[in-house]
Structures are given as structure tokens and as C-alpha cells.
Amino acid sequence: MRSASVIVAMTVVALVMFVCTASAQTWTEPLAITATDAVSGQSVSLNTGEAGRAEGAGLAIVAEAVQDQPGSGADRPPVRIMQISVTDTTGEDRAVDLRVALAADLVGWDWHEDINSFSPITPASLLTERQYPLVVVTPPIGDGLAMAIEPSQPVIYDLIADAQGLSLNARIGLTPLGADDLRSAAHVRLYFYAVDGQIGFRDALASYYRIFPEAFERRAMDEGQWLFAFPNTELPNPAHYAYHEGGPTDWQYDEEHGIGTYPYTEVSSRTIHMHRLPTDRQDALAAFEEYQGNQQLAVAQWAPRGGVADPEVAHTGSRSLRCEKDDPQAWVGASQDV
């Protein structure tokens, strides 16, 4: 198993969606792109609206425009797309903070928290969005501006709106162990498109759904709530439910009430029972060192239940457990005593 210090490379496809003003012109101001090494603090920057390259601090940034997509209406400018690639040039594992910013005077605009609420942007505003994959701002008159992250990307990000404009902060990893175009590289794709200022957040979502139709394709056809960790026979309103993650005990009750039964299966897990509860990250690291160094907390034995240790196949650990489950209600696995 590789050390936890190895940072796995990932493709970060961020979709930043912008709107133009009421004149329906595509927003063409340059993007300010900065890649900063999270350890050394050294950085490289690039300002570009179409294409460009910058190199420094053992990092390279390449930005280029991609073919535009049609807008959401005849009176809307096309969706403008730019791709940004960040590459390590040292051959080392790197943790990188990527910032992409569009400068715009947003004082007097509104920041839409969701479809029902919004807040005015003041000179002192610093609004950060982490709950939704997009941030939306609109002016008093005309079209507004949205910025979003692609739904399929597991990127840790902040979407920020302030008086100076919108920005995306993303944490990415670069490693020479990456395959193909992910070898010491990560890629970011930015989308720019218009948002109706009258229905800002709703219109931004409608365009978001249109750009990513597969992400919002309906696959679960039954309508109802999801039940987990609660006895189904004690539900006061079973007609409100369509999915039961649990069972198969009382599956007959589910059938009688039109609820689908989906047995909970934990394929694999690993748990460490600590001797004390850490207060923060640094204390957690110290507690783990104590755990490893305390012989009294060493592993005493493994207790398989319904399985046997495989002496030949190890996978990512020191051994594997082969299990066979005949009884659907039985617990199969292994416990560790310390």
C-alpha cells in the first residue's frame, strides 16, 4: 500500500459558467489563472482570454479556447469554453491550489443562495458556495453571471463571489504515477454562458441541466422517500416511501406497501478503535503515533465469522478474507481485538 503522502492525480473538470450584460455580448475579459504549490507557496500565473502558456515554480499552465456551444436561446450568446491544464515539470508528487478568477465589478449585484433567496453584494462581501455546484450573481437590470463545477468531478472546491468578481479555488494533485494525460497533470474546463437576470438561479440550473443531460437522467422510476436505519413496520406514513435500504427482514411489509427492499451490504471496511478521542487533526496524528507505539494496544487476534484468511492473495493489505454468505440475515466478516 502506497504512503498516504502520495497525491493521486485527478482530472478536475470545472465548469465555470458566465453571463454577459444586457447587450448580449459574450464576456471576453481575460481569466486570471494561478497555480500555487501547497507546500512551498511558490506559484505561476497566466492571464488569458483565448490561449496562452506560463511556466514557473516547477509547474506549467496551458490554456486554450474550445469550440463554443449554442446558447440557451436565439438571443443568447454561445456558451464559451476554455480548457486549462496544470502540469508538474519536476517529476515529483505535488499538491497544488488552482485559482481561476474573472474580474468584474459586482457591487450592487445580487448573490443567489438558492432559488428562493439572495443577498446583495457589497464592497465587503466575500460569499463562498460549497453546497451547490454553481454560484449565481445578477445585476439590477439585464443578464447575470453563473459559475459552476461539473457534477461528475470529485474536486474539492470553493466558488467565491465578491466585489471584484467570481473565482474558483480548487485543490488538485499531480503525480508521475498518473496514466496517459493524467501523468503529472490535471485538466480544468471552464464554460461561460448567459443567465436570465429575472430568474437567475432557476435559469442557471436549467442551463446546467441542458449542458449535462446524462447527469440528470432519471434512472429510479419509483417515487417516494428513502428509508434507512428505521423499522419499516413502525412507519406512520408508509405510503410516502418507495425505497428501504435494509432487510430483508420484514420484506413482506415492504411488498404490501409498495416499498422496494434493498438489503444493506458493506463490501469491505477497516476500523481502528482509538484509545482516546482526538480534539483536532494534529492531536489525531499524535494519538495514532501513541496507538502504534503502545504494545498494549497491539492487535491481539482476528476473529473471522463465516470466512477464512487467504494466505496467497493480499490485495492492498497483508492478507485477504474469503467469505461465503448463505444466510441473507447473517453477518459475515472478521473482527479485530486490540
Mean pLDDT of the chain: 82
Helix (H, G, I), strand (E, B) or coil at 175: coil
Neighbouring CB atoms inside 10 A of 53's CB total 12
Model confidence band, residue 268 (pLDDT cutoffs 50, 70, 90): low
Ramachandran angles phi, psi of 95, nearest 5°: -105, 125
What are the tens digits of pLDDT across the range 118-160?
999 999 999 999 889 898 999 999 999 888 888 877 678 899 9
Mean pLDDT, range 191-199, rounded to an integer: 87
Q: Which residue has the higher pLDDT, 327 or 234?
A: 234
Domain positions in the chain: 31-216, 225-262, 281-337
Distances (CA, A) of 321 to 9, 129, 311, 330: 30, 43, 9, 16
User: What is the rounded distance in angstroms from the CA atom of residue 202 to the CA atom of residue 227?
Assistant: 29
Q: Which residue has the higher pLDDT, 35 or 276?
A: 35
Place of cell 448567459: 194
Task: Produce one character per residue of 300-335: b if its CB has 16 or more CB atoms within 10 Å, e if not.
Answer: eeeeeebeeeeeeeeeeeeebbeeeeeeeeeeeeee
Model confidence band, residue 11 (pLDDT cutoffs 50, 70, 90): very low
pLDDT at 19: 38
Cα 161 vs. chain centroid, distance in angstroms?
19
Q: Which residue has the higher pLDDT, 71 or 255?
A: 255
